[in-house]
Amino acid sequence: MHNAALAALTTTTPRFADWRYFRFEIHPDDLPRALELFREKKFHGLNLTVPHKIIAFDRIAAIDQAARPIGAVNTLLLTPAGWRGHNTDGYGLAAAIRENLGLDLAGAHVILLGAGGAARGAAVECLQRRCASLWIANRTAANLTAMLSDLAPLAAGIALRGFAPGTPPVDLPSGTLVINATSAGLRPTDDLPVDLTRLPNVAAVFDMIYNPPQTPLLARATSFGLPSANGLAMLVHQGAKALEIWTDVPAATTAPIMAAAARTALAR
């Protein structure tokens, strides 16, 4: 995605002619030293995936204010002081939901499935954009309780509640946007992360998983005639936002190019 965007930018902006995006396999134990080496070699920026997003959080010079509540960074920018950390996942989620479902997180009643790292980033984005309410479903009560406690300072008047997926509360609001931030659906034999028939009048379903393109949850949503979307657009928009941080080129400019490249790669 990034190299396709850089190639396109080069046609109008020669300074990007020698920019390249590389993939490195780094063992988690080696990440602190790797960050030093990437800085010494003057890499302009880095993307990080799990578990590096969390490991790097306490090992870089600065953290973007919006990323602090998440406790993880997926994009690093080299500055004179060292690496500055950002998290573009929330932006990618909001942009994908707007693009694919025509919905905004602001003012929405959201049911979020999961209490892991991906769910935390999504929850922070929902609260920062002032959703109407946020209901988090997770099977492990201890993880859910800890996440709700961490998020409480961000809620500031927004209804923030948790529940077990198998026992939705009777006072769930109607017309909710359901967001799956669990890994349930990566395999066709996975159980559904939630029973949609037990949720009142669902407005739409978004699944962060993009491969396979249709998870069991999305298939069930389709069978009910519900608007639904997978996570490919989220992948694209978070990547475009990272490229904006490195290049100052607006994410909206490169997102269509990156989307086309992502679809081509997945088709292979």
Write out the catalytic residue numbers: 53
Identify the helix (H) or strand (E) that includes residue 79: strand 75-79
Identify the helix (H) or strand (E) that includes residue 133: strand 133-137
The closest alpha carbon to 89, from 69, 111, 109, 60, belongs to 69
Cα–Cα distance, 238 to 256 (Å, whole number): 12
- The angle formed by the CA atoms of residues 77, 245 and 74, to the nearest 5 degrees, is 60
Question: Two tokens at 13?
Answer: 């902006």
The closest alpha carbon to 128, from 162, 111, 153, belongs to 153
User: Strand 82-86 relative to strand 75-79: parallel, antiparallel, unpaired?
Assistant: antiparallel
Residues with Cβ within 8 Å of 84's Cβ and at least 6 positions away in sequence, in order, are 60, 61, 62, 63, 64, 76, 77, 78
